[in-house]
Structure 1
Amino acid sequence: MVNMNIQQFRVDTPGIANFIHLNNAGAALMPKPVIEAMRDHLELELLNGGYEAAAMARKEIEEFYPAVARLLNTEAHNIAFTASATDSYNRALSSIPFERGDVILTTNNDYVSNQIAFLQLQDRFGVQLVRAADLPAGGVDPSSVEDLIKAHRPRLVAVTHIPTNSGLIQPVAEIGALCRQYDCLYLVDACQSAGQLPLDVQEIQCDYLTATFRKFLRGPRGAGFLYVSDRVLERAMAPLFLDLHSATWPDADRYELVDSAKRFENWERAYALVLGAKAAVEYALKVGMDNIARQVKNNAAYLRDRFAPYDQIRVLDRGEHLGGIVTVHIPGKKPGMIKSRLREAGINSSLVFRGSALIDFDEKGVEWALRLSPHYYNTVEELDRTVAQLIR
């Protein structure tokens, strides 16, 4: 780890010269090493051809897997490159041989795309969807998870670590211990926590962990990763529709899975994105995940504290542990106008609507939220300017 030198990180981030970026939960600003890694490979393709460039960069491309493994405290053979967090998630789901009557146990705060996938499995295969209760302070109640595991013996337990619609941090390690105790498959959506919090899959005890690079990891769009546990690999679990990269064809009527998480990949991918993603992970590890987590948490807490005195701004985040996503609602204001006013002032933000967080927003009695997601390269002065715009 290194000491937090925010000014150096800002020098490494060309985008900050143009605006205040508080949309890191959407897509963070890439640092120079990420941009340069992609640019260098595209130039290699330009001058040599796509296949030839991939062959020339093969050693560096293969370094993607141990880099992500270091981020998660696992081994390279447990890592797969994918196109996005949702791509990772769907590949994981498709590897589970669901049967009619199987139960998926999830939470009220799981990501909308995951909820839709569960409902589709329910419609197509007769899988039963069960959601655990929340704690009074917010976030899933581990006791409810345990009670429902005992009652239903679910085929899969699925938890989103940090939802897209609030700063809530879910107790994924505590739930992982329950899943191991009762021998349930466990899928963790770390889309918003990867790059924001330290992630240790040995501590979490998950079978699958999915994430993207474009958010807090500060990598490129169109790139994600999937962690797959050894027990999934040993059970010969694999996604539907393998290809010549994820399996071999030794006989006319037989195929064999590759023996690593690469069975969850496709042969074709954008190698410039692979190399950009690797550079993003290496940059995060150099900064230090503990350093990043502390700075992101402090910036988000600062914003919540600054909003607290103003009656016209309602902070929506609930939960014992809160991270780097700050959600607020301003009654009587049109969300599009708020976002546009911030953009005119050079501040990037995002909006979350009820369709992305139906259960949570109905409980909070709102149709939308303004989402502000600071990163470690944001300054207090930037946060103060943002608050000043919203309290006008």
Structure 2
Amino acid sequence: MNLSALRADTPGAAERVHLNNAGAALMPTPVVRAVVDHVELEARIGGYEAADEIAPGIDRAYADVAALLGTTPDRVAFMEHATAAFVAALSAIPFRPGDVIATTRHDYVSNQIQYLSLAARFGVEVVRVPDAPEGGVDLGAMEATIHRRRPKLVAVTHIPTNSGLVQHVASIGAMCRAREVPFLVDACQSVGQMPLDVEAIGCDFLSATARKFLRGPRGAGFLYVSDRTLDRGLEPLFPDLRGADMVAGNIYQPAPDARRFESWEFQWGLVLGTGAAARYAMDVGLEGIRDRARELAGRLRASLAELPGVSVLDRGSELGAIVTASVSGHDPAALVRELRRRGVNTSSQTRLDAVLDYDEKGVAGALRVSPHYYNTVDEVETFLGHLAEITSPR
């Protein structure tokens, strides 16, 4: 991995110490150019005309995102963002009163809210499978839940927004396939951070965003839809004219592939940027990206644990590149503001971002630090130095 070349491709690296890749990573130049060039083309010749002109580039974006996930282009739907992708997948499950959604205590808070909304509206039962002692969902308990409760859907967040935990989704996928239970994976924080293979995971849906570790633009996401899902005839609750054809007065026909989940309106520049981000990640190498980001995160955890008043909150048998910590006597949001004033980007969370996890850990929130492969050891040390200075007794 040529770190100098990667940083030269990352204009923002010259201006900031960016350790907020779990929020929105710095885009590399090829991604920026893909987005900007298309917006400029729209300004010159018109939005519809520009979309027609760059049709081959759109096809390539489908192919590149598919390659990133280990699937084929017809199994990829582009979406406005990860939440839209996740909700579209949820809407495809024909829930009835008494149906069970099996999930974990670490699913993203928006997902948890959506499960509770389904419970309130349709009488669905939400079963949160307990954790293992080392952290993360207990796989034995998950298997027992799938076997005994026969859920209508199993939904799991691969890497929570509030922790470095990496959930063992492939093991859960094998359980779901064995009992023909649909499996939805939120890969918002894992796509671009590590290799993903939807066949190895065994999921029926996988939702993701472009803006985080994939280093794509904001306002773009995508959804993987399996052959099994399409063979079952599942479709979104509210298809539109891109995802379906109205063939008679009272009849519509869904698209035969994953595009039945898409909507008509797209900012195609963001789709091109997402494709460019997928290509860039594959060119760098996902294994190397994973190893480099985890090495920096491990260094952060070890150093943070030595600072007075700092408690590292991450738990699990496998940890990724999100580091969370509480700092006694310091509000995380105030720390973020002061670090940003010093040229260091991080992020903060409150209890409401992860009620179940933070209540169990007994904290009101956390400072979140998320390095990526283009960050340097010097940047990590710069952050640690500033944090020590900010939090030292006056």
Q: TM-score, normalised by structure 1?
A: 0.98
Deviation of 1:358 (Å): 0.7
Q: Which amino acid in 2 is paired with 1:90?
A: V
Deviation of 1:334 (Å): 2.2
Q: CA–CA distance in 2 between the matches of 1:19 and 1:378?
A: 11
Give the match's secondary structure for 2:156: strand
Q: CA–CA distance in 1 between the matches of 2:70 and 2:332?
A: 41
Alignment of 1:85-124 (within 5 A): 85-124=82-121
Q: Which amino acid in 2 is paired with 1:391?
A: A
Q: Which amino acid in 2 is paired with 1:259?
A: P
Deviation of 1:391 (Å): 1.5
Partner of 1:320: 317
Partner of 2:26: 29
Q: Which amino acid in 2 is paired with 1:219?
A: G
Q: CA–CA distance in 2 between the matches of 1:336 and 1:141?
A: 32
Tell me, yes or no, if the aligned pair for 2:322 and 2:371 is still in contact at 8 Å: yes
Q: CA–CA distance in 2 between the matches of 1:362 and 1:35?
A: 40
Tell me, yes or no, if the aligned pair for 2:103 and 2:154 is still in contact at 8 Å: yes
Are positions 1:175 and 2:178 aligned together? no
Give the match's secondary structure for 1:164: coil
Partner of 1:139: 136
- Determine which of 213, 219, 233 is the counterpart of 1:222: 219
Deviation of 1:340 (Å): 1.6
- Determine which of 329, 334, 339 is the counterpart of 1:342: 339
Are positions 1:166 and 2:163 aligned together? yes
Deviation of 1:337 (Å): 2.2
Deviation of 1:147 (Å): 1.0
Deviation of 1:341 (Å): 1.6
Are positions 1:155 and 2:157 aligned together? no
Are positions 1:52 and 2:52 aligned together? no
Deviation of 1:31 (Å): 0.4
Partner of 1:291: 288
Alignment of 1:308-387 (within 5 A): 308-387=305-384
Deviation of 1:338 (Å): 1.2
Partner of 1:42: 39
Deviation of 1:57 (Å): 0.5
Deviations 1:75-119 (Å, cap 9, x if unpaired)?
111100001110000000001100010000000000000000000
Deviation of 1:181 (Å): 1.1
Give the match's secondary structure for 1:299: helix
Are positions 1:83 and 2:80 aligned together? yes
Q: CA–CA distance in 2 between the matches of 1:171 and 1:188?
A: 11
Q: CA–CA distance in 2 between the matches of 1:169 and 1:138?
A: 10
Q: Which amino acid in 1 is paired with 2:77?
A: A
Q: CA–CA distance in 1 between the matches of 2:271 and 2:293?
A: 26
Q: CA–CA distance in 1 between the matches of 2:98 and 2:331?
A: 44
Tell me, yes or no, if the aligned pair for 2:69 and 2:198 is still in contact at 8 Å: yes
Gaps of 5+ in 2: 390-394
Q: CA–CA distance in 2 between the matches of 1:337 and 1:245?
A: 45
**Could you tell which deviates more after superposition, 80-89 or 59-68?**
59-68
Q: Which amino acid in 2 is paired with 1:277?
A: T
Partner of 2:392: none
Q: CA–CA distance in 2 between the matches of 1:50 and 1:334?
A: 45
Are positions 1:64 and 2:26 aligned together? no
Q: CA–CA distance in 1 between the matches of 2:146 and 2:40?
A: 52
Q: Which amino acid in 2 is paired with 1:62?
A: D
Partner of 2:186: 189
Deviations 1:261-307 (Å, cap 9, x if unpaired)?
00000111001101111111110010011110111111100111112
Deviation of 1:328 (Å): 0.7
Deviation of 1:357 (Å): 0.6
Q: CA–CA distance in 1 between the matches of 2:269 and 2:322?
A: 29
Deviations 1:217-240 (Å, cap 9, x if unpaired)?
000000000000001111111101
Deviation of 1:51 (Å): 0.6
Tell me, yes or no, if the aligned pair for 2:77 and 2:222 is still in contact at 8 Å: yes
Partner of 2:206: 209
Instruction: Give the aligned CA root-mean-square deviation in angstroms.
Output: 0.8
Deviation of 1:311 (Å): 3.4
Q: CA–CA distance in 2 between the matches of 1:282 and 1:125?
A: 41
Tell me, yes or no, if the aligned pair for 2:332 and 2:349 is still in contact at 8 Å: no
Q: Which amino acid in 1 is paired with 2:343?
A: G
Give the match's secondary structure for 1:391: helix
Are positions 1:9 and 2:6 aligned together? yes
Partner of 1:244: 241
Are positions 1:268 and 2:255 aligned together? no
Deviation of 1:26 (Å): 0.3
Q: CA–CA distance in 1 between the matches of 2:331 and 2:242?
A: 49
Q: CA–CA distance in 1 between the matches of 2:167 and 2:297?
A: 17
Deviation of 1:310 (Å): 2.3
Q: CA–CA distance in 2 between the matches of 1:194 and 1:96?
A: 24
Deviation of 1:335 (Å): 2.1
